[in-house]
Amino acid sequence: MEVLPRDGWLETLDFIAERWSQVAMTPHHAAVCVLLSLAAFALVFQLSLRVYSRLVSPPTHQMVFLSALKQCSWTHGLCVGLCGVTVVNHPACAQDLLRGVCPWLETACMASATYFACDVYCMWCMHRDNQPTGKAATLMGFARKQWLVLTHHFVLVGVFLPLLLLVRRGHYFVGCFMCFEFSVPFLQTAFLLRHCGQAGTLVEKINGALTVFVWFVTRLCVFPFMYSTLARSLNVSFWQSLFHPRWYCHLGCLFIAIPQVYWFCLLLQKVLIGLGLMQGHVSLLPGEDRDTRKTR
């Protein structure tokens, strides 16, 4: 997990300049990746509009548009999760956890960044169209309303993507974090079932239980899994592996893990309420906004 030298800012700047010159993705490669990703997003979105215009009840423009957007998120989450599994099992990454590089991971992340840009634009269009007559949509109002999703998208694209391109090592752990997205299809399925008039059905309850299980495995168990695999690769005990990474690696894992635990508790509470085992009200879930809740 060691990625930057300790010996001052000059060495760090030299390190970044050297890594930047070694970035495998050329501008031509990036342009082709973005265009293909845009085409894939447009295809899934248009097909989803046609399908959900027949399934959504009532078939209002807002609900059909939102359902198509959720379906794109469903598809993106599944693709990213599968990419994560492939990266974790890539020979170069599995043999050298700290320095192993998956040759096509940068392409997958560039495609994911393109999806995030499309997602933000579509959310802005929906926010603009939902404004009352005579009231103009503002970026600040949009940012206040969708601050969690916007923060997620901009941090991944503006911080982690450049780091991935510059610090070309440790792709094994990037793949582990990509497996987080396996929970997204189950979250979006819950929203889609409600949009299609399946709220309170057995299918929704089963999907809720699966969501909690998949969230626990892919977003909580992944942290001890990463430390245990690091311990095996270093041939040390699990507790000794905790002292090998630098402090900012532990801090980053803690920063990511805390909201996962919080949302897991919300998801578990929602499932228990749906099964009649608990009474109460659940706050907004990850990936949910007030417009989604109004359409229930």
Amino acid at site 65: F
278 pLDDT more than 80? no
Please state, in angstroms and as integers, the Cα–Cα distance from residue 201 to each residue in 12, 151, 192, 204, 281, following that order.
56, 33, 13, 5, 19
Residue 239 in this model has a pLDDT that exceeds 90? no
Helices (H), the chain: 8-21, 27-55, 61-88, 91-95, 105-129, 139-145, 147-155, 161-166, 171-178, 184-195, 202-215, 222-234, 238-241, 247-274, 290-294
Mean pLDDT, rounded, for 213-239:
91
For 50-109, how does the pLDDT look when each residue is reduced to its tens digit (9 = 90+)? 999 999 877 888 899 999 999 999 999 999 999 999 999 988 888 888 888 888 888 888
b/e per residue 112-139 (b: at least 16 CB within 10 A): bbbbbebbbebbbebbeeeeeeeeeeee
Segment 149-205, tens digit of pLDDT: 888 889 888 888 888 877 778 899 999 999 999 999 999 999 999 888 888 888 988
State if pTM tops 0.95.
no
